[in-house]
Chains A and B, each alone.
Chain A
Amino acid sequence: MREWLLTESPASRMQASAGRAYRAGGQLLRNPLAVVGGLIILLLIVTAAAAPLIAPASPFGQDLANRLMPPSAAHWMGTDELGRDIFSRVIYGARITLMIVALVAIISAPLGLVIGAVAGYFGGWTDRILMGVTDVFLSMPKLILALAFVAALGPGIENAIIAIAITAWPAYARIARAETLTFRNSEFVAATRLLGASHGRIILRHVLPLCTSSMIIRVTLDMAGIILTAAGLGFLGLGAQPPLPEWGAMISRGRVFILDQWWVATMPGFAIIIVSLGFCFLGDGLRDALDPKSAGKS
C-alpha cells in the first residue's frame, strides 16, 4: 500500500492526489508537537460528539445542596454556584466551542479567501476598493468590533458567531491577496489565459488552490484566538446565554468565587488553554508539512 502511494509514476488522478496527501500526512506525523496538537483536537471532537455518553451528570441539573463543592471523587471538577457538575458542563461546553470554531472558520475563511484572491488577481481599482474595505475592518480592534455587532444584533451564541466571523475574515483576505500576488504574473497563469480560460476559471481553479495551504495554516492558528474571543464575549455576557455551559461564560460566573472556590473559574480556563494550545501546535505542524519546499521529501 505504501509503495502504491509513494510510487514515482502514479497511474491515475486518484493515486497521484492520494500520494501527495500521504506524503504531507507523513511529514505532519513526524513532528511530535503537531501530533500532540492533533490528539488534543481529536479529543475535543470526540468529547463533543460523545458528550451524553461521557458526562457523568446533566450539565443543567441543579443541586443547591451541593453548591460550590471542591473537586472530589463524585465531582471531578467540583460543582458551581448552582450545584451543577462542572466536569459535565466542561464536556458539554466542548460542543459549543467546536460549533463556534467550525462555523466561524466556515463563514470567514472562504469569504476572506475569495475577496483576497480577486483583489490580488485583478489589481488596480478592484484591488484598491477591496483592500480599502478590508483595511477598515482590520483597523478596528477585534473584540470591540465583535462587541458592537453583538450589541446591535442582540446577545446569543449565533450572533456571537456572526460577529466573530466578521472580524476574522480581513486577515484571511490579506493573506490570500499576498499569496496571489506572488504568482499572478507567473507564466502558468499567462499560459492558461492564452488557452482561452476566463478570469473566473483561473481564479477558481488555479489561484484559489494555491492559496489554500497558507489559509489552512492561518485558520488553524487563529482558532485559539477565536476561542478566546468567544470566551471573552461569553465572559461579558454577550455570547452564549445562561444556562448554556460555554467556557467563557463559566469563567465569568466563577470570577466572584475565584479566591475561595477557584475551581469554578479555573477548570473551564484549563479547557480553553489546552484546546488553544492544541490548535497552535497543529497549525505550526501544518505549516511545516504543507510548505511546498518540503514537498519533495517523503
Chain B
Amino acid sequence: MTTAISLTDLDISYDGTRVVEGVTFDVAVGESFALVGESGSGKSTVLKAIAGLAPEWTGGMKVMGQERGHGPNKRLAHVCQMVFQDPYGSLHPRKTVDAVLTEPLVIHRIGDRDARVEEALRQVGLDRRFRFRYPHQLSGGQRQRVAIARALMLEPKIMLLDEPTSALDVSVQAEILNLLKRLRAEQGLTFLMVSHDLPVVGFMCDRIAVMTKGQIVEIAPADALHDGAFTNPYSRALYAASGGA
C-alpha cells in the first residue's frame, strides 16, 4: 500500500458551522506533506479531523488504506500520532516525563517499559537526567522533545505535526526541525505538517497544499518555494508576503 492518508471531499464543521470545505488530497507513505495557510484557514482543523479530535465531518477519509471512523480510535493510535503546537499545554503539569512516556505503554499493555522509555529519551536527544522532571522544570524545546517522544512510543507510521515549532525560539526551532527530519529518515515516517511559515515548510516537506478560508487553493511541490512558481493568486500573495522575492 502506498497511500498513507487519503482525503476526498472532506467537509468539517464545528457546532454546525462549516469551517473546511471540499478538501481532497493524498499523502503517500514516507512523504512529508504540508498544509499551509494563515489563521482561520482551517489547516489545523483538517489535522484534528484525521486524528479524531474533530468528529463533525463528512466525506472520505482513509488512513493506511482503511476507512476511518469519526472519533479517536485505540487501534489507530498505533498508526497515527500527533505533536501539538504549544509545548506548555501538551504536557500534564503534574506528571513527570517518565509518567508521560509510560502512559501509552500502560494503556496498550506493552511491557518492557523502562527500556522503552530510556530508548525514547535517547531518540529525541534528552539525557537520562530529564526522566523524572516535571514540565515546569523543562524548557520549551525540551518539552517539545518529550511530546515527540510520547508520540513515538507506540511506533506510529504517520505523524501529524501541528505547527510544532511556532512557539519556540529560532535556535531551538532549528534543533527540533533537525530532530524531526532525522526521525523521519530513521523510521520511514510519513509527515502531515501544518504551518504558516513557508521557509520551515520548504525545509521539511516534499509537497505543499495552500489553504485559505477552509479550502485548498493549490497543491504544489516544495520546489515551488525556490522560485515562487505558484499559479493561484492567493498562493502568490502569501509567498510574496512571506518574503519570497
Q: Answer whether residue A13 sits at the interface, using C-beta atoms and an 8 A cutoff.
A: yes
Q: Answer whether residue A196 sits at the interface, using C-beta atoms and an 8 A cutoff.
A: yes
Task: Tell whether A194 pairs with B81 under 8 Å between CB atoms, given A9-B133, A15-B132, A16-B133.
Answer: yes
Q: Answer whether residue B25 sits at the interface, using C-beta atoms and an 8 A cutoff.
A: no
Q: How far is the CA of A116 from the CA of B77 in the complex (A)?
A: 29
Q: Is the CB of A196 within 8 A of B134?
A: no
Task: Tell whether A197 pairs with B96 under 8 Å between CB atoms, given A12-B132, A187-B90.
Answer: no
Q: Is the CB of B72 within 8 A of A188?
A: no
Among A12, A188, A201, A296, the residue within 8 A (CB) of B91 is A188
Closest A residue by C-beta to B105: A195
Q: How far is the CA of A254 from the CA of B200 in the complex (A)?
A: 80
Contacts of B150 in A (CB 8 A): 191, 195
Q: Answer whether residue A43 sits at the interface, using C-beta atoms and an 8 A cutoff.
A: no
Closest B residue by C-beta to A206: B92
- Taken residue by residue from 195 to 225, chain A's Cβ proximity to chain B (1 for < 8 Å, 0 otherwise) reads as 1110001000010011000000000000000
Q: Is the CB of A296 within 8 A of B132?
A: no
> Shortest beta-carbon distance, A24 to chain B, in Å?
12
Among B81, B84, B129, B153, the residue within 8 A (CB) of A9 is B129
Contacts of B92 in A (CB 8 A): 188, 192, 206, 210
With a 10 A CB-CB cut-off, give which of B86, B131, B151 has the most chain A CB atoms.
B131
Q: Answer whether residue B217 sits at the interface, using C-beta atoms and an 8 A cutoff.
A: no
Q: Answer whether residue B108 sits at the interface, using C-beta atoms and an 8 A cutoff.
A: yes
Contacts of B91 in A (CB 8 A): 188
Q: Is the CB of A296 within 8 A of B74?
A: no
B interface residues (Cβ-Cβ under 8 A, vs A): 51-53, 72-74, 77, 81-82, 84-86, 89-94, 96, 98-99, 103-104, 107-108, 129-134, 136-137, 147, 150-151, 153-154
Q: Is the CB of B77 within 8 A of A8?
A: no
With a 10 A CB-CB cut-off, give which of B74, B94, B151 has the most chain A CB atoms.
B94
Contacts of A12 in B (CB 8 A): 132
Q: Answer whether residue A292 sits at the interface, using C-beta atoms and an 8 A cutoff.
A: yes
Query: What would be 19 A-B contacts, judged by CB atoms less than 8 Å apart?
Result: A8-B129, A9-B129, A10-B132, A10-B133, A16-B134, A187-B86, A190-B82, A191-B82, A191-B90, A192-B92, A192-B103, A194-B82, A195-B107, A195-B150, A196-B72, A196-B73, A209-B94, A295-B136, A296-B136
Interface size range on A against B: 20 to 34
Considering the complex, which residues of chain A in the window 1-56 have a beta carbon less than 8 Å from any beta carbon of chain B?
A: 8-13, 15-16, 20
Contacts of A296 in B (CB 8 A): 136
Q: Is the CB of A20 within 8 A of B134?
A: yes
Q: How far is the CA of A194 from the CA of B51 in the complex (A)?
A: 7
Q: Is the CB of A195 within 8 A of B103?
A: yes
Task: Tell whether A210 pairs with B98 under 8 Å between CB atoms, given A13-B132, A196-B77.
Answer: no
Contacts of B93 in A (CB 8 A): 210, 292
- Taken residue by residue from 160 to 198, chain A's Cβ proximity to chain B (1 for < 8 Å, 0 otherwise) reads as 000000000000000000000000001110111111110
Task: Tell whether A188 pairs with B154 under 8 Å between CB atoms, given A15-B132, A194-B52.
Answer: no
With a 10 A CB-CB cut-off, give which of A10, A20, A188, A292 has the most chain B CB atoms.
A188
